[in-house]
Amino acid sequence: MSATRSTLGLMRHARLTRKQIIGFALASAILNGIITASVGAWLGQTYAKYQSRRQSIEQLVHLVYERRTRAGLVASAIRRGSDHDELRYRKRAYDESYVDWNKNVMQNIFAIREVTGEYMISGLEKYYEDGLVAGMADVDRCLTKAYDVSLANGDGNAVLVACDMSGLHQFVLDCGATFTNELYKLTKLSFLPFSSSSGTEGRAKSEKRVADECTRKPVAIAAPSAAATPPVASPVPKPPEPAPSAEQTAPSAPTPSAGP
């Protein structure tokens, strides 16, 4: 009873009516509801964006490794001199992955921009186009030429060696693995407002790693070693001519003329 009287006394002292108290309670409830709904919507949107980015990167990983693997199967059949039926079967499967890769090139660029937050152009795009896409194109040219030669009963393996299929295949693996791994790390989930999981420092480090693996190294041509170069034969001196004898150097006697 005393507590009720004390509360009523405070209300009278603060000059608050019952209607004002009810209005304050309703306003507080509405404000709390708006804040809770806004925070919940922001958390849901952040998680949905995170899921979308991860799915885009996973799709890129699938495309890279599928095409590289199928290219390796065709190259293996060419090296082993497989029959034409097996070679055609593997090449047909590779062509399907080739089509899937090329029809998603632009979509992958959009995914890269989404992950890095650079919606006009991303610093990673040049390594994607000049490194990964160009490397895939070089593999395709080398593989197609060797395939055509093999179907014509030629030496397809010699074509693979000439265009360095092993080096191209390894370059695609190194570039593709590093590129997708760095994109995956940039999609790290963060619920901190006013911050991005792919900050400036993180993007710079990622671009450095990608640049190291997706920049084609110039092929150094080894100079022939001294042991492999045959020595140049020195000219053999001519033996000195023998000196003329005394008989050869003495003047010959004049021949007497015939008398009349």
The span from the CA of 62 to the CA of 132, in Å, is: 14
Q: Is residue 160 part of a domain?
A: yes
Mean pLDDT of the chain: 76
| H or E, element range at 138 | helix 134-151
Q: How far apart are CA 53 and CA 98, in angstroms?
A: 23
Total domains present in the chain: 1
42 occurs within a structural domain? no
**Residue 7 located in a structural domain:** no
State the average pLDDT over residues 227-253. 49
Q: Above 60 in pLDDT, residue 3? A: no
Contact in structure between 165 and 143 (CB atoms under 8 Å): yes
CA dist 228 and 143 (Å) reads 33
110, pLDDT greater than 80: yes
pLDDT attached to residue 117: 73
pLDDT-derived band at 95 (thresholds 50, 70, 90) equals very high
**Least confident range of 32-36, 77-81, 94-98, 145-149:** 32-36
Quote the pLDDT of residue 41.
66
- Position 70: which residue type? R
- Which two tokens mark 244? 């003329």
In 3D space, the residue among 51, 50, 59, 61 whose CA is nearest the CA of residue 178 turns out to be: 61
Q: For 240-255, what is the mean pLDDT?
A: 50
Count Cβ atoms within 10 A of the Cβ of residue 243 and give its class: 0-12 exposed, 13-18 middle, 19 or more buried: exposed
Q: Give the pLDDT confidence score for residue 37 in this predicted structure.
A: 72
Compute the distance between CA of residue 165 and CA of residue 135 in angstroms, rounded to an integer. 11
Amino acid found at 5:
R
Highest mean pLDDT among 110-114, 142-146, 212-216: 142-146
The answer to whether residue 141 sits within a structural domain is yes
Residue 155: which domain range?
A: 54-214
In a domain, 222, yes or no: no
Residue 260 pLDDT class (50, 70, 90 cuts): very low
Angle between helices 165-186 and 18-80 (to 10 degrees): 170
pTM, two decimal places: 0.64
Nearest-angstrom CA–CA distance, 60 and 163: 26
Percentage of the chain modeled with pLDDT above 70: 63
Q: Is residue 99 part of a domain?
A: yes
- Looking at the domain assignment, is residue 241 inside a domain? no
Residue 143: inside a domain? yes
Q: Which of 124, 157, 130, 122 is nearest to 143 (CA)?
A: 157
**Alpha-carbon dihedral 134, 139, 144, 149, rounded to 10 degrees:** 130
